[in-house]
Amino acid sequence: SAVISQKPSRDICQRGTSLTIQCQVDSQVTMMFWYRQQPGQSLTLIATANQGSEATYESGFVIDKFPISRPNLTFSTLTVSNMSPEDSSIYLCSVVDLYDILNGEYEQYFGPGTRLTVT
């Protein structure tokens, strides 16, 4: 299974600033995703990060607010821009294992998450 790390693990930021979250995977993966989990809530998909092309955003999420980079098959970043207290959440990176996809069998793994508090 893929091993995923995220940086930072947590941060406290001031309103109006931006934070970039990094996601590193120990193997090449085709699909990487960014999820948000607001306090006491379920997970909501923000976007699918595609290597070599623009990310695909879900309804309610826009590139200006959550720009994403995917420079290669093992790394992605999510930036939370112009933060407000409503952005306080856990942000999780997730991947689908490349090998399993080719055989029609795959599993989706989640990173440890970045706990963001905006004051």
Residues that bind another protein (CB under 8 A): 31, 33, 41-45, 48, 50, 56, 92, 94, 96, 105, 107-113, 115
**Distance of alpha carbon 11 from alpha carbon 19, whole angstroms:** 9
Q: Which amino acid does the sequence have at 83? A: M
Of 42 and 119, which has the nearer Cβ to another protein?
42
Cβ 51 to another protein, closest distance in Å? 12
Of 10 and 15, which has the nearer Cβ to another protein?
10
Of 45 and 98, which has the nearer Cβ to another protein?
45
Of 14 and 59, which has the nearer Cβ to another protein?
59
Strands 114-118 and 56-57: unpaired
Per the rule left: phi > 0, alpha: psi between -120 and 50, beta: everything else, 18 is beta
Cβ 5 to another protein, closest distance in Å? 11
CA–CA distances in Å: residue 41 to residues 8, 27, 36, 56, 81: 21, 30, 9, 23, 22
Cβ 79 to another protein, closest distance in Å? 20
